[in-house]
Structure 1
Amino acid sequence: MNTKHLTLPSVFLISALALTACADGASGGPGSDEPDAAESGGAASGEPAAVESSVESTSEPAVEPSDRETHEAGGPSPRLAITYDGGVSVLDGATLEVLSQDEAEGFVRVNPAGDGRHFFLTEGESFRLIDGGTWGEPHGDHDHFYTTDPHVSDITVDGPAPGHVVSHDGIGTLFFDGNGEIHSYDLADLDVESPLETEVAETEEAHHGVAVVFPDGGRFETLGNEDERNGARVLDAEGEEIVSSEECPGVHGEAAGSDGMLAVGCEDGVLTFDGAEFTKIQADEEYARIGNLFPAEDSPIFLGDYNLDEEGEEPMTEVALVDTASGEISTVDVEAPYNFRSLARGPQGEALVLAEDGVLHVIDPETGEHTDQLEIMQEWTEPEEWQEPRPAIRVVDDIAYVTEPDAQTLHMVDLGSMEIINSAELDFTPNEIAAVDGRTAEGAEDHEGEHAAEEDEEVDDAEVDEEADHEDHDH
């Protein structure tokens, strides 16, 4: 096992030291990675309507959100949210220090909210907003970056069987499997100090699905009911169907590719939407379920899981490389079992597979060749129930975060040098992991925030008072 402790890449080291230099920012986006869940209930389609999320108090916070101290950082400062039995923790992405631990009832899940700062905790029959405590603010031709203490808020969006969380083009979408409700929100509106207003629409029937709301008010949504799922459709802002396809049995997951392409997995391939029409990319096998897709920036190729056993008894060992440019699906045998939390993309678009042999496999998506590998942990076996902890991987820039539940450990892997550069023992067994990078996501920079506003005021004052010095302002 190749391990080097406490050696951090420069971008993370700069953030950890909280320097006050200015740095440019970029945006990123999440993919979807949930397995199937039970569908229940029913709903009729309707026009979008504005609602305000409920605010439910579970316990008095030790510090009010507005009382938290703010620190300026020298660059983006990633934060990680990790769930465990009975709670959720937020960690510093550079040092792996546990910054907060909060109790939560029942089985909980976590997803990035889409703005580079917040998470949504799936808890019972609600999505609960978490402030990861890291963000960037535009300031002229560059960004300034800040951190504060994480905060699990009392702001929730409620509904039966909360499922997928996705975001595109400045809009986030929450999907409730139990009634088919689609709640959308502006990324710029996420704030743990203010109630969250969402626009609400509904699918024709309730099902385990996913939706994407467009800036013009239209939306992409999956088709199905409690018995089966079979495709997707696109509607305009008035709720009128524009185009649809029922060529996707068992539709699941969602990912956005290059040029705004949307893709969902099927039990016999992948269905894509290019902004005008649907295209089915057929798998060679009669049954070849691709339930989760992982995109990479500027790449037409999606990485997907590839399940050839309809009964779900045989483990997956092959991964799918879905080339949307050629309309072909190729497969690569990892020669070790893996599961739905095993896949990610690297900084150069490389396909990453964390398999049960304890090895992180690196695959060239263009050629399908194995280009590198790193032993991270001992061999392990996927648990029978999907809710039970198993190793998981998330990537921010050139760093992969890998959980090892059996050892209650979190590993930090430099994908450039392919070595473990830090490992942290946890006092809980990690289950799900999500990451935010502290950069302002596209569409979430509609207003610069209070710190940037303060800076602008001070700059204006400096123009009036020649003795004022811009370097002296506070954040």
Structure 2
Amino acid sequence: MKIQTKVAYLALAMSAALLTGCGDTTVTINELPPIVGDDHDHDDDHDHGGVNAAGRLVLSAIDSAFVQVLELPAKTELNTFVVSTTPSALYASGDYRYAAVVQRNDDLVQFIDGGLWQEDHVDHMDDFQAAPRLMPFQLSQVRPTHFSAADGQLAVFFDGNAATGAAAGVAVLTDADIGEDRSDYPQLSLTTHQHGLAQPRGEFLISSIRDANSSTTLPDQVGLYHQHGDHFDLEEIFAVSCPNMHGSAQNHEFIAFGCSDGVLLIEQDGETFTASKLANTDEFSGSMRIGTLAGHDAAEHFIGLAGAAVFAIDAEDAEMALLDWQPGAATAIWGYGFAEQGEKFVLLDNTGALTIFNYHGHEHEGSDEPAFEFAAKLALTAANLADLPAGARFQLAISAADDKVYVTDPIARQLHTIDLHDAEVVNTKQLNFIPHRITWLGIAEPEHGHHDH
């Protein structure tokens, strides 16, 4: 398997054009001057105190191939790009500089440079900013599906295709790979298609493995792979099985995978990896299983989602506890994640409400106080959810630089800014299109403009 990179030339021969195709949506595309490469003079758009610390947002529109970049905190429009087809998902790269614009059914991932990045100058870090741009770097393997970012790396899992016989595979990218349009980034070629997943761990990769004779597309084993140049070699298949695997996450010491019978936990100690199984608790019944996991390098716990049930998973102590997130009428979770450098956890549900937890880790070890403390619930809409446009739902983006999260409302065509510290909506922007996908880009730990409470 070789994932090809190619240059796409999109001709927008206009300074202001109108793009339609989202029902009655009208979007104005404002072309900005072209940006030179990363080897530009450091004086370009660089002010040691003036680099945007709040970051930028990337949004797509329902049933449209346009993608818009907004400057935070004011959410002003910086640029709008036309990609090849309607994006199915948006993800941030490993260091949050680039947005992966996923077009799954077209076997394509394009990348947009958000224009904010940081460079290590040995004795200090310098922050830089430039105008956004559509990158020449692309991925064009079959069915890009699961994206997992950790410690500056982004693992892209391609499911392959049962009908055509295309096998699954993984590409592991750094921001430098994307920015320099490299083709020698490490890749893993698997032997059959699968609805799989992978987690990058430096020179190692933890990836799902599926038996080609299995009756399901879901894998049931996990392999440890070691990078050698532009490829990965299999070092070990863990003996602990994970039937109907779906969902994965990692923190500083553990990698977790959701299984129908529990959670597979893999602990890393240097170059040694040890697998164990944390079985489902008595709160599970019927076909209930954890199919989504969230982790953070600064958090000792994982969060596991089993439908609308939320579980705190202590990997070190091998414990799983059901959280009362006061769901009310909610029956599904649409967005989730650790926020504020791992100090909070947020849930966006299908009533349009945002639930905020304070995360305490093992601060309360030995007491009855939970690691996740319910802090607040914000109702972000009073509209009838039956009025949601077809294919749309509320979407969540989490800042990696401060205590803000952003939620799109496709019914009202709005974009909300929520301050997690004060648990309140601090700003709402009216959009002239129906929002679909969203992600945050920026500098996770900016040298200037740190948020402080």
Coarse TM-score class (shorter-chain normalised): 0.7 to 0.9
Amino acid at match of 1:295: G
The equivalent position to 1:127 in structure 2, one of 100, 109, 125, is: 109
Does residue 81 of the first structure (1) align with residue 58 of the second (2)? yes
The equivalent position to 2:440 in structure 1, one of 418, 430, 435, is: 435
Could you say what secondary structure the match of 1:432 adopts?
strand
Does residue 401 of the first structure (1) align with residue 406 of the second (2)? yes
**Cα pair distance change 1:328/1:379, threshold 3 Å:** farther
Does residue 323 of the first structure (1) align with residue 314 of the second (2)? yes
**Cα pair distance change 1:346/1:55, threshold 3 Å:** same
Which residue is equivalent to 1:413? Answer: 418
Could you say what secondary structure the match of 1:189 adopts?
helix
The alignment's TM-score, normalised by the length of structure 2, stands at: 0.75
Could you say what secondary structure the match of 1:188 adopts?
helix
The equivalent position to 1:362 in structure 2, one of 356, 374, 389, is: 356
**Cα pair distance change 1:207/1:58, threshold 3 Å:** farther
Could you say what secondary structure the match of 2:435 adopts?
coil
Percent identical residues:
22
The equivalent position to 1:203 in structure 2, one of 181, 190, 196, is: 190
Q: Is the 8 A contact 2:218 2:246 kept in 1?
A: no
Amino acid at match of 1:89: Q
**Cα pair distance change 1:215/1:354, threshold 3 Å:** closer
Which residue is equivalent to 2:143? Answer: 161
* 1:377-396 equivalent positions in 2, closer than 5 A: 377-378=381-382, 381=385, 388-396=391-399
Q: Is the 8 A contact 2:333 2:349 kept in 1?
A: no
**Cα pair distance change 1:151/1:380, threshold 3 Å:** farther
Amino acid at match of 1:404: D
Which residue is equivalent to 1:102? Answer: 81
Deviations 1:32-79 (A, max 9, x none): xxxxxxxxxxxxxx8xx7x65122333358543318962432453411
Does residue 53 of the first structure (1) align with residue 5 of the second (2)? yes
Q: Is the 8 A contact 1:270 1:290 kept in 2?
A: yes
The alignment's TM-score, normalised by the length of structure 1, stands at: 0.72
Does residue 223 of the first structure (1) align with residue 209 of the second (2)? yes
Amino acid at match of 1:222: S
Q: Distance in 2 between matches of 1:162 and 1:128?
A: 11
Q: Is the 8 A contact 2:100 2:110 kept in 1?
A: yes
The equivalent position to 1:70 in structure 2, one of 45, 66, 80, is: 45
Which structure's relative contact order is higher, taking Cα pairs within 8 Å and 6+ residues apart?
Answer: 1
Higher strand share: 2
Q: Distance in 2 between matches of 1:189 and 1:266?
A: 33
**Cα pair distance change 1:383/1:282, threshold 3 Å:** farther
Amino acid at match of 1:288: M
Amino acid at match of 1:280: K
**Cα pair distance change 1:91/1:250, threshold 3 Å:** farther
Q: Is the 8 A contact 1:55 1:195 kept in 2?
A: no
Could you say what secondary structure the match of 1:407 adopts?
coil
Could you say what secondary structure the match of 1:236 adopts?
strand
Using the TM superposition, give the Cα deviation of residue 219 of structure 1 relative to its aligned residue in structure 2, in angstroms. Answer: 2.1
Q: Distance in 1 between matches of 2:183 and 2:46?
A: 25
**Cα pair distance change 1:127/1:440, threshold 3 Å:** farther
Deviations 1:330-383 (A, max 9, x none): 112423325353212232533312223433222345355422222322255489
**Cα pair distance change 1:247/1:341, threshold 3 Å:** same
Using the TM superposition, give the Cα deviation of residue 220 of structure 1 relative to its aligned residue in structure 2, in angstroms. Answer: 0.9
Could you say what secondary structure the match of 1:258 adopts?
coil
Q: Distance in 1 between matches of 2:351 and 2:94?
A: 32
Could you say what secondary structure the match of 1:190 adopts?
helix
Could you say what secondary structure the match of 1:239 adopts?
strand
Q: Distance in 2 between matches of 1:423 and 1:207?
A: 41
**Cα pair distance change 1:345/1:185, threshold 3 Å:** closer
**Cα pair distance change 1:75/1:141, threshold 3 Å:** farther
Could you say what secondary structure the match of 2:411 adopts?
helix
Does residue 337 of the first structure (1) align with residue 340 of the second (2)? no
Does residue 353 of the first structure (1) align with residue 347 of the second (2)? yes
Q: Distance in 2 between matches of 1:382 and 1:230?
A: 37
Which segments of 5 or more consecutive residues in structure 2 lack a partner in the other structure? 14-30, 161-166, 360-369, 447-453
Which residue is equivalent to 1:184? Answer: 172
The equivalent position to 1:114 in structure 2, one of 77, 85, 94, is: 94
Compare 225-234 and 249-258 and name the one that shifted more.
Answer: 225-234
Q: Is the 8 A contact 2:346 2:356 kept in 1?
A: yes
Q: Is the 8 A contact 1:357 1:378 kept in 2?
A: no
**What CA RMSD, in Å, does the superposition of the two structures yield over aligned residues?**
2.9
Which residue is equivalent to 1:269? Answer: 262
Q: Is the 8 A contact 1:117 1:439 kept in 2?
A: no
Q: Is the 8 A contact 2:335 2:347 kept in 1?
A: yes
Q: Distance in 1 between matches of 2:183 and 2:321?
A: 43
Which segments of 5 or more consecutive residues in structure 1 lack a partner in the other structure? 1-45, 308-315, 442-475
